[in-house]
Amino acid sequence: MEANEAKIEESVVPVTDTIGALEKEIADPIVYQLVRVDGSGRLVPATQDEIMVVEDFLEDDKCEPKHVPDTRHISESVKTERYLLERNPFQVPEGKLESEYPEVGAEKSNVLVDPVPDLGKIEAPEKVAVHGLAPCSEVSNFDLSVRTEVGSNPQDAPNEDAPSTSAAGSSLKPDFSKLEGKICLDNLTVKELQETFKAAFGRETSVKDKQWLKRRITMGLTNSCDFSCTTFIIRDNVVVRKGEEQICHRVKSRISADSEDGVAKPDSGGSVGDHDNRINDDADFSGADVSSSTFESCKVTKDLYTEQRTAKRARKPTKRYIEELSEIESRESSEKLSSPDKTSRYRFACPETHKRPTKNVRSNARPLVTRQDSLGGSGVQIPFVSRIRRSRPRENFMPLLKLQPCGMDMSTRQVSSAFAVSGRQEDDKINNDLINTSSSPGWTQQPLIAACEEDKHYSGMKIAELENDIELNDCSENNSDDNVVTVPTQKGGMRRKHHRPWTINEVVKLVEGVARYGAGRWSEIKRLAFASCPYRTSVDLKDKWRNLLKASFVQLPAEKGILNSRKQASVPIPAPILSRVRELADMQGQIQPILSTGKSSGHSSSGRSVHEARSGFL
């Protein structure tokens, strides 16, 4: 990969024949060097993130590092540029070129000097384009300047490797002394790769994935100025001395040259000097002869490209994969290296998540602790990543427990326990409200009422204020980890990452909302009662209501046998609530629109009447 190394050297050393250089470029393995051009035209090493982006972008265009035509891309704003290039191989280049180069003082832009290692894929045209864009001589020239800049720039270091961020500064210093002689990454065992990794990055890694390691190493070294200072370069996944590399190049050049039948080098003989000049002239970006050489280059590339294609392409690990591994890695290293604080923190975090299984189990049978194994494939557990966080334990749990002792039936008990886990005061308010209102109609909730009686005052006062501010209530769930819940979907809008179990609290709010605004006014309810719950769309409310309704009708009959509810495997919605739901269902059809009618219509009205009335209303 490290074609660049060779390049640098070249600049110092006599670059004897330009053609050779040119060839070399074509034959060289490719290396990504992502840099950004700042306002003053200076080249700033790209951040790991930027690199990632690019990688991602190029992901599909990669093939094996080996046998990759040494093309060097200089493109800015890779995404668009590249796209353009693919579309318009022969045009985009020139125009863009000028405006983009630093000297021109282009605005901040990303420049990708990129002899791509695993590029050379199906996009032959692209390469072609690239060549057109930057005539080899110029390219290499540019490349050199970049190199130099970067190399001397201290900022280059950080750019080296992302996961290393957490590594202790001390051990960060790479130790290339361990990279003696030539190393073929392909032949190394995982362990050896890890060693190499350590040597290269100065930190340990536990990653077992060869691909990843190799990639990381090559990538890292490529971008490492430390390494740049060594006499090694990376080529085809093999770390070799620069000298050897040169030889390689020469050979390859020759070969390719021959195979090209001279087509590859238009100016082969005469323009040698020309090339040299250009190489030494940073400012020479005139697209003058670009076009001419472009075509030839293209041909070469194309052919080479075709050859390479035969090799099977290795799938690059996805960005996410890398990130995750990195994450794990950094955690590991931080655990080792960092102060005990962190460790202890984790220790606390863990138990906490387990402490509240109740909450998770409640309404939906679904365990929802899933986060724990979100790393899935890798088989690694990431229990304490921020994502898991849940609402804090309820402080006022005791007062609620008071309900338990009062000979409640199971259903009631569930209600209270549900309260307990729902966490937060408003829950109480709401729940109590529910209980009161629902009990008032005089349904089958005697036990509950009784149980709550002594608590009435406690809840009662709140009810008053609550009556008017259902909408003001926050969902107890609307805590921070909600952010993570919604995830962008490639094909469509946002998708919820995990099911968000409805808390009784929410259910209550929904029920109350329906009671107030009527079933069907989902957007209203959403706006007023669930304003604080960004998740829970009106559709969600609707769906939930649908479910509740269904559940209520199913469960109500069974409600006689209170113990029944207990038998339910997932006993989500407390019977009282369901009662209320059904009650509302009835009301929806009749009294809901106009309160006055309330009295006449008994709860006797059956589902059918409900539907009728409802349809009439809606």
Applying CB under 7 A, the residues found at the interface with DNA are: 489, 491-493, 495-496, 499-500, 502, 520-524, 535-536, 538-540, 542-543, 618
Q: State the minimum distance, in angstroms, from the CB of residue 394 to DNA.
A: 23
- What sign results for the dihedral spanned by CA atoms 60, 68, 123, 150? positive
Of 244 and 543, which CB lies nearer to DNA in the complex structure?
A: 543
SS3 (DSSP) at 74: strand
Residue closer to DNA by CB (options 322, 541) is: 541
Q: CA-to-CA distance for 85 and 90, rounded, in angstroms? A: 8
How many angstroms separate the CA atoms of 220 and 226, rounded?
Answer: 10
Give SS3 for 235. strand
What is the residue whose two structure tokens read 């720039």?
A: 153
- Name the one residue in this structure whose structure tokens are 């692209």: 126
Of the two residues 404 and 547, which places its CB atom closer to DNA in the complex?
A: 547
Please identify, using beta-carbon distances, which residue of 315 and 550 lies nearer to DNA: 550
The residue among 287 and 520 lying less far from DNA, judged by its C-beta, is: 520
CA distance 222 to 32: 8
From the CB of 318, what's the least distance to DNA, in Å? 21
For residues 382 and 372, the answer to whether their CB atoms sit within 8 Å is yes
As measured in angstroms, the least distance from the Cβ of 525 to DNA is 8
Q: How far apart are CA 318 and CA 197, in angstroms?
A: 20
Burial annotation 202-219 (CB, 10 A radius, 16+ → b, else e): bbbbebebbebbbbbbbb
Sheet holding 43-45, edge to edge: 43-45, 33-37, 109-115, 72-76
Q: Between residues 4 and 503, which has the closer beta carbon with respect to DNA? A: 503
CB of 382 to DNA, least distance (A): 22
> Considering the complex, what minimum distance in angstroms separates the CB of residue 524 from DNA?
6
Identify which of residues 430 and 514 has a Cβ nearer to DNA in the complex: 514
Phi/psi at 226 (5° precision): -60, -45
**Shortest Å, Cβ 230 to DNA:** 51
Read off the tokens for 580.
Answer: 């209320």
Cα separation, 19 vs 160, in Å, equals 32
Query: CB 171: neighbour CB atoms within 10 A?
Result: 16
Residue 386 token pair: 């921020």
Report the residue number, 462 or 536, with the smaller CB distance to DNA.
536
- Alpha-carbon span 95 to 83, nearest angstrom: 15
Q: Yes or no: say if 183 and 234 are a contact pair by the CB < 8 Å rule.
A: no
User: What Cα–Cα distance (Å) separates residue 361 from each residue in 368, 419, 573?
Assistant: 8, 13, 12
Residue 499 Cβ, how far from DNA at the closest point, in Å? Answer: 5
Of the pair 27, 581, the CB lying nearest DNA is at 581
Cβ 527 to DNA shortest distance, Å:
7
Question: At closest approach, how far in Å is the CB of 536 from DNA?
Answer: 6
Strand order in the sheet with 183-184: 183-184, 238-241, 232-235
Tell me how far apart the alpha carbons of residues 527 and 499 are, in angstroms, rounded to a whole number.
21
CB nearer to DNA: give 368 or 463. 368
SS3 301: helix
Indicate the residue among 355 and 495 with the shorter CB distance to DNA: 495
Cα angle 589-594-598, degrees, rounded to a multiple of 5: 70
Shortest Å distance, C-beta 493 to DNA: 6
Pick the closer one to DNA by CB: 304 or 541. 541
Minimum distance, C-beta of residue 481 to DNA, in the bound complex (Å): 14
Q: How far is the CB of 588 from DNA (least distance, A)?
A: 10
Q: Distance between CA atoms of 604 and 588, rounded to whole angstroms?
A: 13
HEC profile of 457-486 = HHHHHHHHHHHHCHHHCCCCCCCCCHHHHE
Length of the chain (residues) = 618
